[in-house]
Amino acid sequence: MAKGYVIDIEEATEQNTFFRKVLFTAPNSQLVVMSLNPGEEIGMEVHDLDQFIRIEEGSGKAVLDGEESAIEDDWAVVIPAGTNHNIINTGDEPMKLYTIYSPPEHPDGTIHKTKEEAMVAEREHH
């Protein structure tokens, strides 16, 4: 395994067209880029881990334990373990974001081209 990972994260995030793509998995964290189509959402979920999200393009809302906040490019969302959360693209352009899971959430190398593909994989994983 590489000792680390260096990338232009803004460029990698903005160029990503997949719903989810794992860029790098370290022992205690994981870097993932995501693209949500207009009207698409990650879906309400809760993790036993901490999550950080930064929006690079687009606009929408973050829902944390039922509380909604408007988000757009350059905004960050910190989601503590155990928080019910969702990210929703309410704009008319794709929402491009990157997220850091601590510890890792997805198998290294995961690519889900669409939300539907991600949902099938998660059903098979659980």
pLDDT in tens, 62-118: 999 999 999 999 999 999 999 999 999 999 999 999 999 999 999 899 999 999 999
Reply yes or no on whether the pLDDT at 124 is more than 80. Answer: no
Residue 49 in domain:
yes
Residue 65 in domain:
yes
Per-residue pLDDT, 125:
65
Reply yes or no on whether the pLDDT at 1 is more than 80. Answer: no
Rounded to the nearest 10 degrees, how much is the dihedral formed by the CA atoms of 5, 21, 125, 40? 140
CA distance readout (Å), 101 to 15, 38, 106: 21, 24, 9
User: φ and ψ at 117, to 5 degrees?
Assistant: -60, -40
**Tally of domains in the chain:** 1
Residue 116: CATH number of its domain: 2.60.120.10
Q: Which of 1-5, 11-15, 80-84 has the lowest mean pLDDT?
A: 1-5
Per-residue pLDDT, 7:
97
Residue 4 in domain:
no
